[in-house]
Structure formats: structure tokens, C-alpha cells
Copies of this chain bind each other. A is one copy, B any other.
């Protein structure tokens, strides 16, 4: 059995409207989600009530809380729809257990995790080595589709600045024609 067959076989199709949550930080959720269409936001909420955007998720992406699904704890972040979304929900442990005895599932799992790791490494690099302005420039170059679909509030909290800060950065960058 391959990965996609497993997901289609054991997974459950879910439709969520804009504004609805898939899971919430501090509660358990042992599923992972394959996004078919729509747009979602994964975000952290701090003790002081501040929000930080971990990731935007769109068609063909996969998302889940490792700390809950794999480690068996609680979700370390929340997942909410920014647009009406269609996803497939499947238990992480079903995939995980299958991967232990099914070579094809294991191979897909390895591919998935390698791609995931590369993405996380990229984001780590950006936060460690780039200023907020450079992160904005890079996002504009590489993923302008995200910029068009999310509000400046969400975008700023993804870049690690406040909405006010992003407004200033945009002003600087857009009046500067070096690209």
C-alpha cells in the first residue's frame, strides 16, 4: 500500500469555513491533515495573549502538531482557516504504525520528513541571519502569492514584526527600486 492510498482509505474528508479552527493550542489532536484546497494559518499564542504566525498552509501541504500527534502531549500551536478549506484528516499513529511494517509507507514518510526538515532549516536560517526587512524582501520574491492572500496583520506576525513595523518596512522597500 502506498502513502496516498492509505490516506484516502483511512482518512476523513473535512470541510471548514473561514474562521473555523482545526485544532487549538493547549488541547490534544493526534491527527495530521493533508490540505486539498484553501488557506490556513498555524499560530502560537503567548501567555500575554500575543499571536505569532508559525506558518501559512495551502493546497498540497501537510500539517499537524508533532508535539501532540507524535509525542502524545498537547498541541503547541493552533490551526485556523483563513479561507474555506478542504482537507483530509488522518490519525498520525495509523500512518506511523503502518510505516513500521510497510516499506512504501515508510519511504513516503521519509520523503515527507526530509522535505519538512528542509523547510524548517530555511526558516531557521531566515530568522537567524536576516533582518525583518530582508525576510520581507525574500518572501516577496519567493512567495508573493502568500502576500496577496493574507492580511498585513497576519503577514507581519509571520515575519516576526508588528503590523506597524511591517507597514514601515513596506514603505521603505516599495520606495526603493533596487528590488
Report the nearest B residue to A130, measured CB to CB. Answer: B46
List residues of chain B with CB within 8 A of the CB of A160. Answer: 127-128
The secondary-structure label for the interface of chain A is helix
Copies assembled: 2
User: Which size class do A's interface residues fall under?
Assistant: 20 to 34
Write the chain B residue with the least CB distance to A103.
B103
Q: Does A171 contact B (CB under 8 A)?
A: no
Q: How far is the CB of A164 from the nearest CB of chain B, in Å?
A: 17
Q: Find out whether the CB atom of B54 lies under 8 angstroms from the CB atom of A128.
A: yes
Pick from B53, B71, B99, B121: contact of A118, CB under 8 Å: B71
A46 proximity list for chain B (CB < 8 A): 129
